[in-house]
Amino acid sequence: FFRSKSAVERLNGANAPELTKLIQKLAAVDAIPEPLKTGAPVSAESLNDKLKALIEAAPVVLFMKGDPDTPRCGFSRQMCQLLNENSVTFSTFDILTDDQVRQGLKKYSDWPTYPQLYIKGELAGGLDVAKEMVSNGELKQMLEA
């Protein structure tokens, strides 16, 4: 697979499940525009605008420690596994790269911990909530609505 004329991923053989996962991963990577990923300081009003833009950058956005390939905490790793196991296409934001976003999102969402999962611009919750949503079918319903 190529992006901007550079090889970014490789898949050998005909493995449909792996191909699907790889396409979902690559499709989600670019959903958050590069200017929103920078950690430049912004005012409180601008921070809220930035947070709103990040949350609405894709239908499903996960604010986590690290990225799906290299999660930096067990909860983030488990959340990625949960979403992947349920074939959810999602974008991520590494909160460790921008302290203003990390601290600001806690206030914005009134949710003190990470990871934080947003679906269609609304906070769904953290890992425990996501697990419950999968078990009771609510996650699937939210994604189909």
Whether 116 and 109 have beta carbons less than 8 Å apart is answered as yes
DSSP per position, 10-58: ---S--HHHHHHHHHHHHHHTSS-HHHH------HHHHHHHHHHHHTSS
pLDDT in tens, 1-49: 665 566 667 778 777 777 777 666 665 555 555 555 556 666 667 888 9
Give the Å distances, CA to CA, from 125 to 11, 28, 34, 62: 33, 20, 25, 10
pTM of the predicted structure, to 2 decimals = 0.74
How far is 121 from 85, CA to CA, in rounded Å? 22
